[in-house]
Structure 1
Amino acid sequence: MAPLLQSSQPWVEKYRPKQVKDVAHQDEVVRVLTNTLETTNSVLFSWGEHERQRSNCKVTYKPELYKLRVLELNASDDRGINVVRTKIKNFAAIAVGSGHQGGYPCPPYKIIILDEADSMTEDAQNALRRTMETYSKVTRFFFICNYISRIIEPLASRCAKFRFKPLSEDIMTSRILHICREEGLNLDSEALSTLSSISQGDLRRAITYLQGAARLFGSSISSKDLICVSGVIPQEVVQALFSGCRSGNFDLADKEVKNVIAEGYPVSQMLSQLFDMVVEADDISDEQKARICKKLGEADKRLVDGADEYLQLLDVASNTMRSLCNMPEEFSFEN
């Protein structure tokens, strides 16, 4: 095993982009961000990952000035109006100088990065709007969120919006192969394809899975190893449950549901994979797909609210069977 595998440093930190230009497969966003930092005074609103914005800031300022000119806050923790009135306002109000030092532009403004900005209370967001207006000449804001609808309109309207798209399989494979060469790992084509599939275009997630598999299974990693560390349910398990629903036999479907629960697989993950299987099925009508997907959504909401996993999965299985076998709505299952 390569010596690097013994390092405790997370690979997502080791291989994160050091400059904006190193960010993969986001050409339009990179070009606009680079141009914005050099030529405009716009406030930036970003819907993406914290690491990309940190990279943006590190290439903007000289290393020793980074801590003085960049304030990073996780808005899910620092989410109240008092944080806006004290920490953010005090930092934003301080004027800074400009100039080029050692190849760094050192522009005459500071940057405040608010991660999970959609977790901020509405009062805090309203207070922040006033701060942005007052100190726009000396401070820029980066808002990073998962749900843009949770940002109040007056705040969103003052920002340029950027959305980061998932990476394609080719880009993902190229970067993963580079990391494998650096770390002395062996992945076959099936394992590479599996890693791209289970990470769903998220390179950070793919790197995390890869490091976990390397620590557990050594330098030769198979598709099965990656599925094991990712928490993704094996396809044969999902297929068995789906086949049980197709059979029209409630006892068989119930047996497969109990197997899923007994093995400890997360039901939310099972619902996600069932959804993919249903949508991709060619022999199911659009009406049947709609009914099944509606039930999947309802069950997922109940799970978030704390409902029992076995009962929700059984409800999904029975309603999926009803839809696939064209059973009437008043039909009741009896053992």
Structure 2
Amino acid sequence: MIKHASRRIRTKRTRWSRHPAVPFIFSNQQEPEMDRCIFCKNSSTGSRSVEHVVPQALGNTTQTLPRGVVCDKCNNYFAVKIEKPFLESETVLPLRHHQKVPNKKGRVPSLDVSFGPDMPARLHTFPRLPFAGIVEISPSGLIAVKKSGSKVLNAPAARDEWPEYVVSRFMAKAAVESLAARAETQPQLLDSLVDDVPLEPLRKYARYGEGPLWPHRSRRIHSCCLSWKLPDQSIVQRIWESDLFYTDDDHLHYTLSIFGLELTIDMNARSTASYSDWLRDNNDTSPLFDEQYRNSPTNGIPVCDYCDAELASPATGCPCGATATHDASSRSAAQNGAHHCTPGRGSQLLLVVRESI
């Protein structure tokens, strides 16, 4: 059962900072010999895909599942039908662009922008260049801009209202895979999850969309630009962090924070009531910032994203009055899930005229 199997698995939180977690590396002798997929339960013999619990496009290079745990067919399905709609949604894509998180090809996603009605353009960002970005516009669009006299580039802002169904399916998939990842090199536990009866509704919802919407709870626990000061005094941003935890009624939950937006799903029930009760009993403290985490100096100290002053907690405001949406354009591209501070870059944009726009 999900309750008993998961309690036997050693808890291992994944946190992205300057010192990422140890990758799941398996030698020929250690790699679990999985012959069934944890989602479709069909044979996964010969599957070559390495499944990322959190998409690689969000900086994940370590929390992966060995070949065969998720078959190639399910891996491809999740990439196209679950992860792509999530990553390219009108709320998540601007966040990836503004925070300059590269995809697995090392490119920051471009953004559709405009100088006004009927004056579309496309904004490309390259963190290593000495200017803010490249604006691509068509010849006719450039003429329209000159005629209008517009000097304002309108770009969609990152918002916290993420698409509910897309996020729900994504969270169900990540929750099942996170549980499998905790099994590490224990094939017997991975195999038991394939036939775990209480996990079946969530598994089928993730893979096939079966049943009604599986609700999740969403809330902001810190600014999307919040930084952490590590023991070596380097300043980093955390792209994502996650954990599995039990509430008092023995419901297993998976929680994932992406740039401070906490997403939580109950793996045992289509309800958010259990987590709501847990928050009420724990003063609304995120399970990602429990006492063990707060007392660990290796996790770093939260600092203001504007003046780098140390804060009492991630949710604490800074006396300097910096807003929670302060521009993070001075942060470099993500490397192993961490944004490192770089010298301030200019705000100039390079205009490129291209017929294809």
Q: Given the two structures, how large is their TM-score scaled by the length of structure 2? A: 0.26
TM-score with structure 1 setting the length = 0.27
Q: Based on CA coordinates, which of the two structures has the bigger radius of gyration?
A: 1
Q: Could you say which structure has the greater relative contact order, defined with CA pairs below 8 angstroms and 6 or more residues apart?
A: 2
Q: Which has the higher helix share?
A: 1
Instruction: Please state which structure has a larger fraction of its residues in strand.
Output: 2
